Amino acid sequence: MAARELFIGLMSGTSLDGVDAALVEFAGSAPALIDTAYLPLPWPLKAELHALQAPGPNELDRAARAGNELARLYADAALMLLRQTGIAPAAIRACGCHGQTIRHRPDAGYTWQIGNPALLAELAGMRVVADFRSRDIAAGGQGAPLVPAFHAAAFGSAAKHRVIVNIGGIANLTDLPPRGTVTGFDTGPGNVLLDLWIQRQLGEEHDRSGAWGQGGTVLAELLAAMLAEPYFTRRPPKSCGRDLFNAAWLDKFSLRGAAAQDVQATLAELSARTIAAAVDRYCAQADELYVCGGGAHNLDLLERLRRSLPQRRIETTLALGMDPDWVEAIAFAWLAKQTLDGHPGNLPAVTGAGGERVLGAIYPAGAMA
């Protein structure tokens, strides 16, 4: 009997809430999600990762130490997953680890995800594939988004023109026409500004269901000023992150005197409008849109999307058989498999790279389990 094709995908995204771990089996036409685990980021580590988004004192040492802490957390999440299922580390072909982005500067020729995959391989006792983005950038691409290649493999249809929208801290879309080229790009902020504002005002981590934003009124002048951001009209390939959409970006606007809940409603409308505008401009023929990522739980944001795109069916990826919370972690398990099989993980039409590339660096399993 052939060995099972088991992979683990590890993801900690722009929202900086925690580590998602997905155990995935590849057999047949679609990946099968076997089990999941989640570990929240400890507050001191989360605060340090926020701080590392901008230049600061002794940042090389701080980034290395934070990377080590992340590696331990990643290992804990992966081993928790295996304990839940009774599967030994040796049975896992590889663990695909995205790492934590602290700088994304394709314009300067680099992207930096920390997480010390060598330490992760030692602690987890399994092969690790990491550093997926830098090869695409070396080939002239943006290094992001990478999930469209997985979206095409998992959600593509020969009969339906679909768009997959991943709403994490940053939102990105994948255009999946029944025939023709798969394209995709980062549309702009997803949850990042919403999270930042509610943390400042209420001390809450997220407006997860969108209830606070739903109760506010969109401030038309503020929304118009935000929509004037040049990124929104730049043609793809393009990608962004906290290097652009952050507290400093938000603080450029005149918020004094504005009701805090109205600002939240405006930020939700900004995310919805920029996603919708991207769909209208670049995916005009699509009639189905499926949302994944943390934003799939923001009912207010989904309703704003439906109002902005009234002619399109809008659901979460659960309607396609995949839990929206785990799509990205599954995607990095798939990317690890692509690496080990010697298959490309990027789409040049998405990232702008000079061609298809096998992505990632491979770290053999350590001796410890």
Q: What is the pLDDT of residues 246-266, one digit of tens each?
A: 999 999 998 989 999 999 999
Q: Tell me how far apart the alpha carbons of residues 319 and 313 are, in angstroms, rounded to a whole number.
A: 11
Cβ neighbour number for residue 263 with a 10 Å cutoff: 24
- Give mean pLDDT, residues 125-136: 98
Overall average pLDDT of the 161-182 stretch:
96
- The mean pLDDT value for 25-40 works out to 92
Task: Return mean pLDDT, the chain.
Answer: 95
Report the pLDDT value the prediction gives residue 351, as an integer from 0 to 100. 97
What is residue 43's predicted lDDT score, i.e. its pLDDT? 93
Q: Compute the average pLDDT of residues 282-288.
A: 95
Nearest by Cα to 268 from 337, 234, 220, 218: 218
The answer to whether residue 369 scores a pLDDT higher than 50 is no
Helix 220-227 × helix 260-282 angle, to 10°: 40
Bridge partners (DSSP) listed for residue 96? 9, 129
Q: What are the tens digits of pLDDT across the range 195-243?
A: 999 999 999 989 979 999 999 999 999 999 999 999 999 999 999 999 9
> What average pLDDT does this structure show over 307-318?
96
Distance CA 298, CA 214 (A): 10
Ramachandran category for residue 180: left, alpha or beta (phi over 0 → left; psi -120 to 50 → alpha): left
Average pLDDT over residues 289-317: 97
Q: In Å, how far are 176, 213, 259 from 369, measured between CA atoms?
A: 40, 45, 53
Higher pLDDT, 28 or 114: 114
pLDDT confidence of 30, banded at 50, 70, 90?
confident
The confidence score (pLDDT) of residue 80 equals: 97
For residue 90, pLDDT beyond 90: yes
Domains identified in the chain and CATH numbers:
6-142+326-363 (3.30.420.40), 147-320 (3.30.420.40)
Cα 357 to chain centroid distance, Å, stands at 20
pLDDT of residue 1: 52
Confidence (pTM): 0.95
Q: What percent of the chain has pLDDT over 70?
A: 99
Q: For residues 122 and 232, what is the distance between their CA atoms, to the nearest angstrom?
A: 42
pLDDT at 76: 98
Read off the pLDDT of each residue in 293-309 and give the average, rounded to a whole number. 97
